[in-house]
Structure 1
Amino acid sequence: MTDTASYDATRSRQAPTQEHKQVPGVKHLIAVASGKGGVGKSTTATNLALALTQQGARVGMLDADLYGPSQPRMLGLEGTPESPDGKTLEPMVRHGIQTMSIGFLVDEASPVIWRGPMITQALTKLVYGTNWDDLDYLIVDMPPGTGDIHLTMAQKIPVTGAVIVTTPQDVALLDARKGLKMFEKVNVPVLGIIENMSTHICSHCGHEEHIFGEGGARKMAREANSELLGELPLDIRIRLGADAGVPVCLSDPGGELARAYGHIAAELIKKVEAASSVMAHSNAERAMPEIVME
């Protein structure tokens, strides 16, 4: 071992594989992720889930950001899930979305101070211990970064694919690329990239301005041989809807913002169908990455 220990993220030895146990009541799990916080990942996940329901799908929301759950507020949900047998939990339902979050089980103002093994156990319990009811899509709102929760999702849970949310800003794109590479290394298909806060149009004069840069996600998708699923504007109505628990896809279902989310949902459905077809013709199991210290 050298004097300086370094994490070699480029080396990934194949460890013994394990079977990904199917989640009862769920056809497809879609991880919505970002390399860093503050890019609107959770808001995008919420409106994407609603856009999928508006296209006729049965949709659930798993709030996997255990340190900072936000889906209860964004979907306007309060209370504690029922447990019919003392072992499993019934998802909370509003706006047609079946939702489970650690936010239902802890006080909103109380921080979750858990180490990795506890986080892994809690996530697995939320996934497999929830009585999901015949879902076409379970949207998983991931925490920012590339930590324990991401590896647990990749190693233990059958994720159909991941969607990366980023802004056009160079700093955000740096971290988004890391998130994309992480999913590639653990053999989770990246279904596409969503550029959030792509542009801002002044509500008074109509002037359009690319506050965080222009074309960054499109370039990233091209370099990664992925696809840009869509671009979303920086619009105060998106924030107001999320804070009020009535997302913009509900408050203005015929508006341009809802149409933008609807377009992304339609593209995502196509990508999921394509990914599922590939998976159906392959019996290869995902290899679990091993951390190599040098």
Structure 2
Amino acid sequence: MSECTHDCSTCAQNCGERQEPQSLLKQPNPKSSIKKVIGIVSGKGGVGKSLVTAMMAVLLHRRGYRTGVLDADITGPSIPKAFGVHGRAMMQDQCVLPCASKTGIDVMSVNLMLENETDPVVWRGPIIANMVTQFWTDVLWKDIDFLFVDMPPGTGDVPLTVFQSIPLDGILVVTSPQELVSMIVAKAVTMANMMHVPILGVVENMSYVKCPSCGEKIPVFGESHIEEATKKYGLKVLAHGPLDPQIAFKIDKGCAEDVDAPWLDPAADEVEALLKK
């Protein structure tokens, strides 16, 4: 506990008697209804975190659940483009309404708040972190079974804000098959443990390219080190995703809902099981 600079005996907050750390969790919009919140994290950028976020929302939606995506990657928002969602979010009864994809997945991103979606977000950390919090407190997430939070890479201000402000039911760690993976996983695990958020498992993206002629899986980034990296922390490897130009093409065209990603089914199973606990 930090030292006070005043007479605690006259303090209305009784800070001299306070022993437990105060929770920084924010309440969602009073009109929201959200059953489970899942964070998608990575220790570095460029590993396909937003792809995994989008596909998890799609897979659970196909299973009959109502899903949404909160795009917390404020300076690198890509979720609206992946779903082909454009335009601006609307206000209703002092609430911000998320935009809906063509199949009914709710999406909220800073791109949907800007006058032009290509405008850069040149904001300082506290403003960015406050925007993420507002996506939780001011946006009306109606009847959502699973809300997926696409978090920015690393362990800086915004990931910390998400961990502290939004009650996450679990996180998925996305990584790549390079040797650096052990350090990346370690950083994500350490942060999750510090914030007392359970890790559901690890998704390794870009694990291989499938030969179009013979179907052989070619590890273009070298042999995977994911098993040894996760074993140390007792984590499950839930998926090995391919480096597939067709997936990238569909995402770039805003057709995430047309992508087949059976390799993510075990991760979807793990998330779905949260509703049964």
Q: Taking structure 2 as the reference length, what is the TM-score of the superposition? A: 0.86
CA distance in 1, matches of 2:270, 2:21: 35
8 A Cα contact 2:177 2:225, kept in partner: yes
Q: Of residues 194, 213, 224 in structure 1, which corresponds to 2:233?
A: 224
Per-residue CA deviation, residues 20-43 of structure 1 (Å, 9 max, x unaligned), is: 344331111100011111101101
Give the whole-Å Cα distance in 2 for the aligned partners of 1:214 and 1:268: 28
**1:72 and 2:83 correspond:** no
Q: Which deviates more from structure 2 when the two are superposed, residues 49-58 or residues 170-179?
A: 170-179
Q: Kindly tell me: are residues 36 and 66 of structure 1, through their superposed partners in 2, closer, same or farther at Cα, counting changes over 3 Å?
A: same
- SS of structure 2 residue aligned to 1:121: helix
Aligned partner of 2:258 in structure 1 is 251
Aligned to 2:63: 55
Unaligned residue ranges in structure 1 (runs of 5+):
1-13, 278-294
Query: For residue 118 of structure 1, what is the aligned residue in structure 2?
Result: 127
Residue of 151, 163, 168 corresponding to 1:159: 168
Mapped to 2, the partners of 1:231 and 1:273 lie a distance apart of: 24
Aligned Cα root-mean-square deviation (Å): 1.8
> Aligned ranges for residues 254-265 of structure 1 at < 5 Å?
257-265=260-268
Aligned partner of 2:9 in structure 1 is: none
Deviates more, 1:21-30 or 1:131-140: 21-30
Structure of higher CA gyration radius? 2
The residue that corresponds to 1:89 in the other structure is: 96
Contact 2:178 2:224 (8 Å CA) reproduced: no
Match of 2:118 among 101, 109, 127: 109
> 1:76 Cα deviation (Å)?
0.3
Counting only pairs closer than 5 Å after superposition, residues 128-207 of structure 1 correspond to structure 2 as 128-207=137-216
Aligned partner of 1:266 in structure 2 is: 269
Q: Following TM superposition, by how much is the alpha carbon of 1:172 offset from its aligned partner in structure 2, in angstroms? A: 4.0
CA contact (8 A) 2:181 2:229 kept: no
Q: Deviation per CA, 1:7-66: give whole Å up to 9, x if none.
A: xxxxxxx97221634433111110001111110110111011100111111100000000
Does the C-alpha gap of structure 1 residues 173 and 242 become closer, same or farther in structure 2, counting only changes over 3 Å? Answer: farther
Q: For each residue in 1:158-216, what CA deviation from the matched residue of structure 2 results, as whole angstroms up to 9, or x when unmatched?
A: 11111100011112442232122111111111111001111111113433211123342
Q: Partners in 2 of 1:15 and 1:171 — Cα distance?
A: 37
**Count of aligned pairs:** 254
* Alpha-carbon distance in 2 for matches of 1:185, 1:54: 34
Given candidates 107, 129, 134, the residue that maps to 1:99 is 107
Compared CA separation, residues 158 and 68, structure 1 to 2 (3 A): same
Letter in 2 for 1:89: V
User: What 5-or-longer segments of structure 2 have no aligned partner?
Assistant: 1-18
Q: Distance in 1 between matches of 2:65 and 2:193?
A: 27
* Amino acid aligned to 1:100: M
| Counterpart secondary structure, 2:197 | coil
Higher strand share: 2
Pair 1:20-2:28 in alignment? no
1:274-293 map, 5 Å: 277=277
Correspondence for 2:45 among 37, 40, 53: 37
Q: C-alpha deviations, 1:264-290, integer Å up to 9, x for none?
A: 2112222x347xx4xxxxxxxxxxxxx
Percent of counterpart pairs with the same letter? 37
1:245 Cα deviation from its structure 2 partner: 0.8
By relative contact order (CA 8 Å, sep 6+), the higher-ranking structure is: 1
Q: TM-score, normalised by structure 1?
A: 0.81
Q: Give 1:151 deviation, angstroms.
A: 1.2
